[in-house]
Amino acid sequence: MRIINIGPDPSLAYRPNLETGKAKDKEDYRNFESGSLIDRVFNTYSLMHTNQTVEFVNQKHTEWNGCNHTRMGMMDAIMSLDQLVDESDPDVDFPNSFHAFQTAEGIRQEHPDKEWFQLVGLIHDVGKIMALWDEPQWAVVGDTFPVGCKFQNSIVFRDNTFLKNPDENNPKYNTEFGIYEPNCGLDNVLMSWGHDEYLYRVMKFNKCPIPEEGLYMIRFHSFYPWHSHGDYMHLCNDKDLKMLPWVKEFNKFDLYTKTTDLPDVNNLKVYYQSLIDKYCPGVLQW
């Protein structure tokens, strides 16, 4: 039996009524115990939790942070996700590009005055494009967590998927603070490598004028142990705590707009291309 230790998810309180006039039960989202996709999900996390080490993460920063893989416009990158189904996601089994527009439209409905927020909703998962460039999904998708310190219990499948991770039994890395200082700030913490960190690096490399709140959403939206379970606060500084409510606000749209009611992407493209032209214009380096 696969047992996980997770506390109540505060973001469940934000669940908007997006399907039929009836809110979903909370077990309908992020159910890591059962469901038709659970074997695929568990396998992805098992590989992730075995292989995401300090050494591995540093290697990936070296490989990807130079943004020298290709040149591509943002809308082309978004639409390329038609080729990708996220193997870590227990909620959906359709191409990731639909989720981009679902998230953006949910934000647009509640925050019509915040174009940058809508844009972040559209692009937040574009870093998953690494999976189309031969990066294994366990190094691209799924929840993120710090490496270099103790793996906290709120990480999904924590009990039985880190047994073969060499950092788990390394006394340099397996204490509460590990290689970090108290309240060092998340900017100084090595997160498990994935699409969050990669897209954040792409945005910074291309000097995209997205506000700091939006950059935090991009960089930490998959960091569920932090924004939904309150773990790793001992590593946070004042800036992280100031940005946390923005990441929580983003989470309700990222997670709870995942329905089988797929948007008409062609009708939405013109509007969202105008936001891309404002915040991520032209051809970007990836």
Please choose, from the candidates 199, 200, 180, the residue with its C-alpha nearest in 3D space to the C-alpha of residue 190.
180
Q: Is 161 left (phi over 0), alpha (psi -120 to 50) or beta?
A: alpha
Counting beta carbons within 10 angstroms of the beta carbon of residue 227, is it exposed (0 to 12), middle (13 to 18) or buried (19 or more)? buried
What tokens were used for 133?
A: 């460039």
Identity of residue 114: K
Rounded to whole angstroms, how far apart are CA atoms 69 and 63? 9
Helix (H), strand (E) at residue 73: strand 71-73
Q: Which residues are annotated as a binding site for Fe cation?
A: 99, 124-125, 195, 221, 254
Q: Which residues are annotated as a binding site?
A: 30, 86-88, 99, 124-125, 128, 142-143, 195, 221-222, 254
Rounded to whole angstroms, how far apart are CA atoms 283 and 76? 10
Helix axes 96-110, 115-123, angle to 10 degrees: 160
- CA distances for 196 relative to 59, 97, 120, 169, 265, angstroms: 16, 16, 12, 27, 23
- Which letter does DSSP use for residue 140 in this model? T
Rounded to whole angstroms, how far apart are CA atoms 75 and 271? 12
- Which letter does DSSP use for residue 278 in this model? H
Identity of residue 156: V
Residue 160 CA, chain-centre distance (Å), reads 22
Rounded to whole angstroms, how far apart are CA atoms 226 and 286? 28
Q: Which residues are annotated as a binding site for substrate?
A: 30, 86-88, 128, 142-143, 221-222
